[in-house]
Structure 1
Amino acid sequence: MPAPKNTFKAALANNQPQIGCWMSFAEAYAAELMSTTGFDWLVIDGEHGPNDLRSIRDQLMVIDPSPSHAVVRVPYGQDWIIKQALDAGAQTLLVPLVDTADQARELVRACRYAPEGIRGMGGAGSRVTGFGAIPDYVTTANDEICLLVQAESRLAIENLDEILAVEGVDGVFIGPADLSADMGYPGNSEADEVQDTIEAAIKKTRAAGKAAGILTLTLEGAKKHLEQGATFVAVGMDTLVLAKAARALSADAKAFLD
């Protein structure tokens, strides 16, 4: 029995746009709710969300049976956390702060078993193999791991051609918040210079045959980036969706008292 098919990776390879949402609650109950809402992919955010390996594992457990695909954003591009996330059951990883092709190559190696990489062979008793129920996992897993790297600095944009040339990088995610700050526009990712840079990066990524991704908090932004060629687009964040709806409900109800 081989490793499970990574349908998200296959969709990106076929240029099928995927609509997603960020998850920052770090709770399996909230993740289970989000998995019923129809998004193609859901980010378990281990960089800025208050997650640890156990909460990431628990969210993978409730998302896996759903039509949504779990994307795990690790805190940083270190081989040890990549190994743990993969053994916990992640098939798609999003890695922040990738500025150079050398970094990208090391991440590819961290995601792959030898002789192509350095991923440890201790998964036989882990969740990723069904606790030993998938005997052919280690010989088939490399092809089903999807690696997405984040370009979110001027240096990453300068090195984008070299990063895109790295075999094993399936897509590049443009981080608008960090990129705008590094370009001198903190808190203003809508600045014209930033948006022009994002559009150019998306088009360059697609021209290289890789998937381009981004997070936007507006439907207008999603439409724009999809038209530019972005393949995987996140259109919101669970915490902000709840906060916005709750604030509006509170304000509307209190208006009855005026």
Structure 2
Amino acid sequence: MTDTSVSLASRLRADETVVTAWSTLAFPMLAELLGRAGYRAVTLDMQHGAHDIASVRDGIAAARLGDAHAVVRPPVDDFATVSRLFDLGAEAVIMPMVNTPEDALALVAAAKYPPLGARSWGPHRAAMLQGVTPADYLERANRETIALAMIETPAALEALDEILAVDGLDGVFVGPGDMSLTLSDGAELNPSSERVQTIAADVAAKAKAAGKLAGIFTNSVEDAKRGKEMGFRFIALGIDMGLFADAASSMAGKLR
């Protein structure tokens, strides 16, 4: 199990590999279950998943109860929600479809307190979940809350160096599914293709050179292992719907 008294940020900056489950079902107890099952982190998906602010609020607490770090992906361009997610106790936010340095700057503004950003004050639930005083939370918030920009389009790849240069942005997170879709102009969805994996490796190398964290979504154990070899340290593997469907299918099959 994960010791959540050690922050996700400190683990990743110490070059630990953290595997996160991907939660799309708006049932907070599942976040606890995934943590107790052995995942070090649980990512609650508001972009394509069924999560809303209420299920995320409860899911963050449930993940922590299951000894897992809580991460949230908000909807596209919903920078206003980013501050709320951190106030509710999320340790990291993954903003989808960051295509320009201006997008990255908007993320930092919402995720970080001055002087890095413009996040306003109100992390009372976050401080409660972490068992610290508000003053202690403020002292470490900018270094221990993680803002990740998703890289998943040709525009993002073209602007990657500028995005990585944004002060206060903690790292990038590769979305290979959308990357394969956008690079092929909608002709192919193949996140495990050699083209996409080669580009992903380049993103990881550039992130490391810029002193930033690198994460990636993977669709198989093989891709996850490959991602680790590339230098990714925050790796998503296993969507709750698929995990439960596979388990149910396996159990039902044994009865036939």
Secondary structure at the aligned position of 1:214 is classed as strand
2:134 counterpart residue number = 135
More moved, 194-203 vs 149-158: 194-203
Q: How many residue pairs are counted as aligned between the two chains?
A: 249
Counterpart CA distance in 1 for 2:203 and 2:116 is 28
Identity %: 35
Secondary structure at the aligned position of 1:156 is classed as helix
2:162 counterpart residue number = 162
How is 1:1-258 mapped onto 2 (pairs within 5 angstroms)? 7-123=7-123, 126-130=124-128, 134-136=133-135, 137-184=137-184, 185-254=187-256
Secondary structure at the aligned position of 2:37 is classed as coil
With normalisation by structure 1, the TM-score equals 0.89
Counterpart CA distance in 1 for 2:183 and 2:218 is 18
Deviations 1:165-213 (A, max 9, x none): 1122212110011000001153212222222212222222222222211
Deviations 1:73-95 (A, max 9, x none): 11123332112212212121111
2:25–2:49 contact (8 Å) kept in structure 1? yes
Counterpart CA distance in 2 for 1:130 and 1:245 is 35
Kindly provide the amino acid, as one letter, of the partner of residue 36 in structure 1: R
- Tell me the CA shift for residue 66 of structure 1: 3.5
Kindly provide the amino acid, as one letter, of the partner of residue 68 in structure 1: A
Counterpart CA distance in 1 for 2:53 and 2:214 is 27
With normalisation by structure 2, the TM-score equals 0.89
Name the larger-Rg structure. Answer: 1
The unaligned stretches of length 5 or more in structure 1 are: none
Secondary structure at the aligned position of 1:235 is classed as strand
- Tell me the CA shift for residue 49 of structure 1: 1.0
1:6–1:145 contact (8 Å) kept in structure 2? no
Kindly provide the amino acid, as one letter, of the partner of residue 200 in structure 2: I
Kindly provide the amino acid, as one letter, of the partner of residue 127 in structure 2: T
More moved, 148-157 vs 107-116: 107-116
- Tell me the CA shift for residue 148 of structure 1: 1.1
Structure 2 vs 1, CA of residues 135 and 170 (structure 1 numbering), >3 Å: closer, same or farther? closer
Q: CA RMSD in A?
A: 2.1
- Tell me the CA shift for residue 70 of structure 1: 0.8
More moved, 231-240 vs 111-120: 111-120
Counterpart CA distance in 1 for 2:231 and 2:64 is 28
Kindly provide the amino acid, as one letter, of the partner of residue 142 in structure 2: N
2:33–2:66 contact (8 Å) kept in structure 1? no
